């Protein structure tokens, strides 16, 4: 575990020395900060706007960090040949992949906490401290970000950066549209199309499961059972993505 | 006693449809405990491929490789091995002590012991004055030296060095040579690959000559000079390779 922690910590340090992460963080804070300048709205509408913009910003910029950070986590080690030295140390390839994953998770967590604290501070400034539903929304967004990271990391163990980034963004978009896709498939009477649609619905990541912000913004509460089940779905998906990553990386020639 | 061995170790690189390159062809190598063993060969001769196969970075197409009787991917074995890659690349945002601490932690070395060892290693490779300098500001020679320190952070029983003097000035080369002899005196086994014949001639107990993925000859310099009727290592090197490339000339010393 100490080895995984060491690799994770090194990944974390490396990412925080990259300008891209700071730029994304600053952009996210600017967008959230800008949401309070809707003075022409009523106080209630302004609060909704702040929540809506903030949740979307945390999710979108977090997804960008998850994809770009995880994209380079393994490939940079290979391109810069630092992996030659690393893999000759008493670590297994699994330790390496898991270390990279935990490093990315730490990066996402720190960024997520910074942006969330800014958002919560804004709510408190507007005399509307966050309720439990705001926290539920944030928890689900964070699990979604870790899921995106694990998928990009997994793709990176057997594909090029270009293929990986296209696939990761494709899955990010499709993952938010799966519910619409299923509705379309349910309307069709073609058995093959229906079967294919069901299969894709099961296999593809369903990021829309993690989206409760539309409800929370308008004051609809989401029960803990839903949050728990969605977190469980995310954890299972992350575990499968990591298993695939380990499978391919164990066999990869460097 | 043999401490590193390969049996018919073969690596064929598949570069695309119907295109294969033999990286290493049925190599049988034995390195004895306590010796400095040099691997020689021109570029693309299979030296680095052999080292990567021994260290589990590459997977063999066929054959076997063992260090301390264990397979290349064995983590217990790796605890006793230090490795310096050719043209080492490290995390350029770290400084010397941070890099050594990172690698030391992968060996689960006690913090106090690791701190003392890092001080000693930085002194040894003369990088103590550059403790705070990030690796991205290091010269090629400094990178080679911190790489050497990194390969010694676990006080290894076996040291595997791929072109350890590349980028070093003459004084750096001499210091590295002296260090290798000192480490040998401490009982360490050293396997090194090099282009520099004079370096190999001065420090190695035995050598192996590789060419086009084939292990052409193994032995002490005296044995090989006698076998190939060579005057020195350079002469031996040229003759060994020429015999392989032009077998019809009938020169002595067909592949051993």
Q: pLDDT tens across A228-237, in order?
A: 999 999 999 9
In angstroms, what separates the C-alpha of A248 from chain B's closest C-alpha? 14
In angstroms, what separates the C-alpha of B225 from chain A's closest C-alpha? 35
Q: In 3D, which of B55, B142, B156, B58 has the Cα closest to residue B99?
A: B142
Question: Is the pLDDT score of A35 beyond 80?
Answer: no
Question: Is the pLDDT score of B208 beyond 70?
Answer: yes
Q: Considering the entire predicted model, what is its pTM?
A: 0.87
The kind and range of the H/E element at B81 are strand B81-84
Q: What is the pLDDT of residue B256?
A: 42
Report the range out of A9-13, A22-26, A43-47 with the highest average pLDDT.
Answer: A9-13
Is pLDDT larger for residue A146 or for residue A78? A146
Q: Do A3 and B105 touch (CB under 8 A)?
A: yes
In angstroms, what separates the C-alpha of B74 from chain A's closest C-alpha? 8
Q: What is the pLDDT of residue B188?
A: 94
Q: What is the pLDDT of residue A40?
A: 66
pLDDT > 70 in chain A, percent:
98
Name the token pair of A1.
Answer: 């575990």
> For B204-213, what is the mean pLDDT?
93
Q: Are A15 and A107 in contact (CB under 8 A)?
A: yes
Tens-digit pLDDT profile for residues A46-71? 888 888 889 999 999 999 999 999 99
Tens-digit pLDDT profile for residues A87-141? 999 999 999 999 999 999 999 999 999 999 989 998 898 888 888 999 999 999 9
Number of inter-chain CB pairs under 8 A, A vs B:
66
Q: Do A89 and B106 touch (CB under 8 A)?
A: yes
Give the residue from chain A lying closest to B99, CA to CA.
A10
Question: Is the pLDDT score of B25 beyond 70?
Answer: yes
Give the residue from chain A lying closest to B60, CA to CA.
A253
- Contacts with A17 from chain B: Cβ below 8 Å: 93
ipTM: 0.85
C-alpha span between B223 and A117 (Å, rounded): 73
Residue A126 contacts B where some CB pair is shorter than 8 Å: no
CB contacts under 8 A, B 158-177 vs A, are: 160
> For A7-28, what is the mean pLDDT?
82
Residue B232 contacts A where some CB pair is shorter than 8 Å: no
CB contacts under 8 A, A 59-98 vs B, are: 80-82, 84-92
Give the residue from chain A lying closest to B54, CA to CA.
A88
Of A14, A84, A90, Cβ closest to residue B93: A14
- Name the band, by pLDDT with cuts 50, 70 and 90, for residue A38: low
Query: A213: buried, middle or exposed (CB in 10 Å: 19+, 13-18, 0-12)?
Result: buried
Name the token pair of A80.
Answer: 């810069």
- Name the band, by pLDDT with cuts 50, 70 and 90, for residue A21: confident
List, by residue range, all CATH 3.40.50.300 domains of chain B: 1-80+158-256
What Å distances lie between residue B178 and B1, B122, B199, CA to CA? 24, 16, 11
What number of helices (H) and strands (E) belong to chain B?
A: 9, 9
The full set of domain ranges for chain A reads 2-251
Question: Is the pLDDT score of B24 beyond 70?
Answer: yes
Is pLDDT larger for residue B196 or for residue B102? B102
Q: What is the pLDDT of residue B122?
A: 95
Q: What is the pLDDT of residue A144?
A: 97
Q: What is the pLDDT of residue A189?
A: 80
Q: Are A6 and B108 in contact (CB under 8 A)?
A: no
> For A33-54, what is the mean pLDDT?
78
Sign of the alpha-carbon torsion through B61, A82, B28, B226: positive
- Name the band, by pLDDT with cuts 50, 70 and 90, for residue A39: low
Residue B138 contacts A where some CB pair is shorter than 8 Å: no
What CATH homologous superfamily does B1-80+158-256 map to?
Answer: P-loop containing nucleotide triphosphate hydrolases (3.40.50.300)
């Amino acid at each position: 575990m100490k080895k995984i922690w060491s690799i994770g910590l090194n990944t974390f340090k490396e990412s925080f020395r990259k300008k891209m992460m700071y730029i994304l963080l600053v952009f996210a804070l600017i967008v959230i900060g800008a949401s309070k300048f809707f003075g022409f709205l009523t106080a209630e509408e302004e609060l909704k706007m702040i929540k809506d913009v903030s949740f979307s910003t945390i999710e979108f910029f977090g997804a960008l960090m998850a994809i770009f950070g995880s994209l380079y986590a393994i490939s940079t080690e290979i391109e810069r040949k630092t992996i030659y030295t690393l893999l000759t140390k008493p670590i297994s390839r699994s330790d390496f992949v898991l270390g990279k994953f935990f490093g990315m998770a730490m990066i996402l967590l720190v960024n997520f906490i910074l942006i969330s604290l800014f958002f919560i501070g804004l709510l408190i400034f507007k005399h509307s401290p966050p309720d439990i539903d705001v926290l539920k929304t944030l928890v689900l967004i964070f699990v979604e970000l870790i899921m995106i990271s694990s998928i990009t990391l997994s793709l990176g163990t057997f594909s090029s950066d270009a293929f990986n980034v296209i696939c990761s963004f494709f899955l990010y978009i499709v993952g938010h549209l799966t519910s619409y896709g299923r509705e379309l498939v349910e309307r069709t009477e073609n058995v093959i199309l229906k079967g294919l649609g069901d299969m894709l619905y099961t296999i593809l990541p369903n990021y829309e499961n993690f989206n409760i912000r539309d409800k929370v913004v308008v004051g609809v509460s989401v029960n803990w059972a839903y949050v728990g089940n969605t977190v469980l779905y995310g954890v299972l998906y992350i575990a499968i993505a990591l298993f695939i990553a380990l499978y391919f990386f164990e066999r990869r020639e460097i | 006693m043999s401490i590193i061995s390969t049996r018919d170790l073969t690596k064929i690189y598949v570069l695309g449809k119907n295109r294969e390159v033999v990286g290493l062809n049925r190599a049988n190598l034995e390195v004895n405990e306590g010796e400095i063993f040099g691997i020689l060969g021109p570029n693309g001769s299979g030296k680095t491929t052999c080292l990567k196969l021994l260290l589990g970075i590459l997977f063999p197409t066929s054959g076997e490789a063992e260090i301390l009787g264990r397979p290349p991917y064995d983590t217990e074995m790796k605890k006793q091995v230090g490795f310096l890659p050719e043209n080492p690349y490290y995390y350029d945002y770290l400084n010397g002590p941070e890099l050594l601490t990172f690698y030391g932690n992968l060996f689960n070395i006690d913090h106090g012991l690791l701190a003392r060892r890092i001080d000693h290693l930085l002194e040894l490779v003369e990088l103590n004055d550059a403790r705070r300098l990030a690796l991205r500001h290091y010269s090629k020679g400094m990178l080679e030296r911190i790489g050497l320190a990194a390969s010694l952070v676990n006080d290894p029983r076996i040291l595997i060095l791929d072109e350890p003097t590349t980028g070093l000035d003459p004084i750096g080369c001499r210091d590295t040579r002296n260090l290798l002899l000192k480490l040998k005196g401490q009982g360490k086994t050293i396997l090194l690959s090099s282009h520099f014949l004079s370096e190999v001639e001065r420090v190695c107990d035995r050598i192996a000559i590789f060419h086009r993925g084939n292990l052409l000859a193994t032995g002490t310099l005296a044995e090989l000079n006698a076998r190939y009727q060579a005057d020195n290592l350079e002469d031996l090197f040229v003759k060994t390779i020429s015999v392989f490339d032009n077998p019809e000339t009938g020169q002595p010393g067909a592949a051993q």
